[in-house]
Amino acid sequence: MSMYRFYLTALMAGVLAACGSGDPVAQSSSGSDDDDGGDTPTTAVEGNTSSFYPLQFFVEGDGYVDEAAFDSIWFNPVIRGYVIAPVNSVSLEPLEAPDIADYSVTINEEPVSVEEQGLMMQKIIGLPVALFTTIIIDTSGSTTAAVGVNQTALIDEVKDFIASAQASSDETISNQLFYIIAYANGGSGVEGLLPGFTSNAADLNSALDALLAGDAWEDRGSGSATYEAIVKAVGSYSGSGSSEATAVDLSSDGIPDLRDGYVFNGTYIGGDATQLTGIAVSNIVLVSSGENTVQETFQKADAEAALNWQSLLQFVEAEGTDIVNTSNGEEEEAAQEQSSVEASGMPLWYVAVTGSGEEPDSSIAEMASSTFATNSKAEFNFAADVINAQISSLNNRIKPDNQYLVRYNLFERDGTHDLLFSSVAEEGYTYALTTELDLTGFGGYGQAQPVVEITGPKNSYLPEGNVSLENVSTLYPATRWTVATYESADYSWTVGGNPRSANADGSITISSGDIGQAVVLTNDSLSSGTTTASLTVVQ
């Protein structure tokens, strides 16, 4: 039985959620302005084939977190959120027109109300992706000139990887941030070469060139602490490793940690997280010639745990897995059986520096997402392969073209409450996220205030910050978390500080002439809450 838990950060005192689906000006996700306001189903529905991938990171592992959990999506004051990829429960292909009515969303087994609690599912348009790439370079005795490795050519190819990535037409790839680690022996032999992540090509090239100066390549010893280098590249670990050596805290070792997760316009603890602004994802490029020979603290199991402590889940062909998610660590069996899942951890791209006819180290290859054997120690050509692997991995793991945000207003206060988001497909792959939410002591919370939002066509969700003309050319007004309704005349728009006349449906059209300008939406009839929203137009 597979048991997973859904983590909830501590709730902070402050103004809390009220009610409402908001006004009808924003287009519905079906493209219509009509909303039946009905409840979602609670049991399997005949003919229903709607399922989903959870797109929130699952975290687990001793030394990383206290308990296995999903990173939660919560907006202040208490707006419940989920990020999912809706798919057909049989084929696992993206749904053409997913509908929140085809899923079960309940609190204490009672359906969440579309009309009163503002339950909605919105396609996320243009969520910015921040890709963090740590390059680990093996400088052990098996990568020296003495064994035939052309170190200059190898470093030149690493430079070419960085340059080619920065020249990529894929915006996520071209904007990725890099960090470089060189290693040989363990301990101080695993060395970070930069102050932090950077996209500055001159700084990256300078750090790489320094490895070729004088005897710098041999400065870290002759051993090969590959597992330790991987663990330190991931970071965040606190413990003594499988070898039960002296405890270390890698969150403060000077090497920046690789942390995956969604980014907000504030912090939940700080009480000002109201919108998504992006997602951070990480990967490692390991350039190494041979097997791990140093296990002073970290062994293979530690490297595997590091790569998998933050993961996204994928369906596997198995039956009978119960999905249980709790906020307080209490394990309870789910009432319904769900399909089995497996973790897709942080990608490790293994560039195996091998001669012709030599095989990559099998222990490292077993941990890698992909292995690229150079088949030469004198000439190297792996840059394009690694970049293509990065692109494929991003599309498969975070599904940028099939991201949906589910939100609703949580009315419940004091006591313990069971929150469920589940597929109710009649057949195929199904999944459920269940949260046991303990709000004991929070009965004094007040009501949420209305929030004005700028949406895209069909009520799509636009992350706070920029709106790209490549994705959207029409913007719509909306007011969330209130049962009051607002018409087009209740809103006003400015672009670059100048009034912009709205279309008959309340929307405005943006064009290339608006690039660089701030779009500001104001609900002129709203007397409380957040009355304005803004986005900046980009190409």
pLDDT at position 204 is 98
Q: What's the whole-number mean pLDDT along residues 333-361?
A: 81
Dihedral of alpha carbons 249, 255, 261, 266, sign: positive
Condensed to tens digits (0 to 9), the pLDDT of residues 123-152 reads 999 999 999 999 999 999 999 999 999 999
Q: Is the pLDDT of residue 17 over 50?
A: no
Q: Is the pLDDT of residue 29 over 70?
A: no
How many whole angstroms separate alpha carbon 28 and alpha carbon 7? 31
**Which of 147, 151, 127 has the alpha carbon at shortest distance from 137?**
151
Q: In what order do the strands lie in the sheet with 474-480?
A: 451-455, 474-480, 508-509
How many whole angstroms separate alpha carbon 227 and alpha carbon 225? 6
Q: What's the whole-number mean pLDDT along residues 155-182?
A: 98
pLDDT at position 317 is 55
CA geometry: angle 162, 263, 238, nearest 5 deg: 80
Question: Which residue did the predictor score with more confidence, 410 or 45?
Answer: 410
Out of 35-44, 87-96, 232-241, 336-345, which region has the weakest mean confidence (pLDDT)?
A: 35-44
- Count Cβ neighbours within 10 Å for each residue of 142-181 and write b for 16 or more, e otherwise: bbbeeeebbbeebbebbbebbeebeeeebebbeebbbbbb
Q: What's the whole-number mean pLDDT along residues 277-295?
A: 94
Q: Is the pLDDT of residue 331 over 90?
A: no
By DSSP bridging, strand 348-352 and strand 276-288 are: parallel
Give the residue carrying structure tokens 């959870």.
54
Any idea where the domains of the chain sit in the sequence? 129-318+337-398, 449-538
Q: What's the whole-number mean pLDDT along residues 462-470?
A: 96
pLDDT at position 256 is 98
DSSP 187: G
pTM for the full model?
Answer: 0.88
Q: Is the pLDDT of residue 489 over 80?
A: yes
Would you state the CATH architecture of domain 449-538?
A: Sandwich (2.60)
Average pLDDT across the chain, whole number: 88
Q: HEC string of 449-515?
A: CCEEEEECHHHCECCCEEEECCCCCEEEEEEECCCCCCCHHHEEEEECCEEECCCCCCCEECCHHHC
Q: Is the pLDDT of residue 319 over 80?
A: no
pLDDT at position 439 is 82
Whether residue 150 contacts residue 379, with contact meaning beta carbons closer than 8 Å, is answered with yes
pLDDT band at 342 (very low <50, low <70, confident <90, very high): confident
Q: What's the whole-number mean pLDDT along residues 183-199?
A: 96
Question: Which residue did the predictor score with more confidence, 107 or 7?
Answer: 107
Task: Give the Cβ contact number of residue 209 at 10 Å.
Answer: 13
Q: Name the CATH topology of 129-318+337-398.
A: Rossmann fold (3.40.50)
Condensed to tens digits (0 to 9), the pLDDT of residues 200-237 reads 999 999 999 999 999 999 999 999 999 999 999 999 99
pLDDT band at 297 (very low <50, low <70, confident <90, very high): confident
> pLDDT over 70 for what percent of the chain?
87
